[in-house]
Chain A
Amino acid sequence: MGIISSGFRGRRSENAALPPGQHETQDFPVLTAGPAPLIPADEWEFFITAEDGQRLSWSWDEFMALPQEEITQDIHCVTSWSKLGTTWRGVSVDTLFENVETTRDFATAHSFGGYTTNVPLWDLLGGKAWVAWEFDHEPLERAHGGPARLLVPHLYFWKSAKWVHGLELTDEDIPGFWESNGYHLHGNPWREERYS
């Protein structure tokens, strides 16, 4: 009989893909702060607003005509589940910013239904974020944010706003729905930025 119990494990998971304090799930739990808004495709739009009244917007058809990317990423929910190797399809935020001129450093993501979350612009650009409309080769279910959600997989998943409507660029980092009531302004799972 060994001196050290074979059941002993440190806090660190043996799976290096899991950030501290996270466990892997095979499910895709639905987390939502309210009822899911219903957005018909002909009423959907995605907008970006910046300084000087600059406002770009795309209809669903215009959005679908943009270059689309296949995305495979791990996702990490602050409630401690992680889902590894999820596959998505969507438009890179870099593509959406091609014609945006701004000196602003932060964004507030606005969702249909009123949800908001704040993300620094440098966490949205450089191949790190998408507006995704397909999950696991199927159109994104309404419960998971369909028609389209923000996908920022390197931050806790509350930053990946469901039913995303647009990005408002701001000079300051303005706390969103959860960030204004106890959650971390940034939300990096590898640094366990869970709470403020």
Chain B
Amino acid sequence: MTSTDDFAVPESEDQDIAAEPHDPIPYVDGNAAAGALSEVFRIDIIAALGRCRHCGSVRAFGETMVFTDAPGIVVRCRDCQGVLLRLVQTPTKYWLDLSGLSYLEIDREE
């Protein structure tokens, strides 16, 4: 009851996540987080592999589900919908929570 990520995963074919059929809560892929995150990371995070702390799935960051119509950016695992990363931008600070990623694997430049 204290977990923020004990997500009741909807049926995978259930795209009716809003009240109206075929009117889902909009989300986009990980590339949509690139702009905001490029101000925080000097690495190409979109190509990085990340491991989901909740379900163990390892995927490219670009494959995540990104929710931007919110008070911050919320990046979720495509497999379990657990929260991987949260970024809040205030007028003076970034608040970055990476606790949903157990690691990021990043290619070094040649």
- Give chain A residues whose Cβ lies under 8 Å from the Cβ of B6: 114
Contact A143 B71 (CB under 8 A): no
Instruction: Determine if B86 and A143 form an interchain contact, defined as CB atoms under 8 angstroms apart.
Output: no
Closest to B8 in A: A37
- Contact partner of A38 (CB less than 8 A), chosen from B1, B14, B95, is B14
**Please, which residue of chain B has its CB at the minimum distance from the CB of A157?**
B71
Kindly provide the distance from the CB of A10 to the nearest chain B CB, expressed in whole angstroms.
Answer: 19
CB of A58 within 8 Å of the partner chain: no
Chain A nearest CB, measured from B37 CB (Å): 15
Question: Does A41 count as interface, using CB distance less than 8 angstroms?
Answer: no
Q: Which of A37, A110, A182, A183 is the most central at the interface, judged by chain B CB atoms within 10 Å of its CB? A: A182
Number of interface residues of B (CB under 8 A): 36
A112–B1 Cα distance when bound, in Å, is 10
Q: Knowing A31-B69, A33-B67 are in contact, say whether A143-B23 is a contact too (CB < 8 A).
A: yes
Q: Cβ of B16: which chain A residues have Cβ within 8 Å of it?
A: 38
Taking the closest CB of chain A, its distance from the CB of B56, in whole angstroms, is 18
- In the complex the two chains form, what is the Cα distance from A33 to B16 in whole Å? 16
Least Cβ–Cβ distance between B48 and chain A, in angstroms: 21
Q: Are B19 and A142 in contact (CB under 8 A)?
A: yes
- Judged by a CB distance under 8 angstroms, whether A116 is at the interface is yes
- Cα-based distance from A108 to B81 in the complex (angstroms): 22
| Residues on A with beta carbons closer than 8 Å to the beta carbon of B14 | 38
Q: How far is the CB of B40 from chain A (nearest CB, A)?
A: 13
Residues of A within 8 A of B67 (CB): 32-34
B72 CB contact (under 8 Å) in A110, A144, A182: A182
Among B19-62, those with CB < 8 Å from A are: 19-20, 23-25, 27
Whole-angstrom distance between the alpha carbons of A151 and B24 in the complex?
23
Q: Does A7 contact B (CB under 8 A)?
A: no
> What residues on A are CB-neighbors of B90 within 8 Å?
182, 194-195
- Provide the bound-state CA to CA distance between A176 and B5, in Å: 12
Whether B88 and A35, one on each chain, are in contact in the complex, defined by CB atoms closer than 8 angstroms, is: no
Query: What residues on B are CB-neighbors of A29 within 8 Å?
Result: 69
Do B69 and A35 touch across chains, with their CB atoms under 8 A apart?
no
Which residue of chain A lies nearest to B93 when distances are taken between CB atoms in the complex? A182
Cα–Cα distance between A177 and B46 once the two chains are bound (Å):
24
Among A32, A115, A195, the residue within 8 A (CB) of B25 is: A32
Taking the closest CB of chain B, its distance from the CB of A158, in whole angstroms, is 6
Closest 4 CB pairs of A and B: A182-B95, A141-B19, A182-B88, A143-B18
Give 11 CB contacts A-B under 8 Å.
A34-B76, A35-B27, A35-B76, A35-B81, A38-B17, A108-B2, A158-B71, A177-B4, A181-B97, A182-B90, A195-B93
A sample of 12 more A-B contacts (CB under 8 A), given A108-B2, A158-B71, A182-B88, is: A30-B69, A31-B70, A34-B67, A34-B81, A37-B10, A141-B18, A142-B18, A176-B4, A180-B97, A181-B88, A182-B95, A194-B90
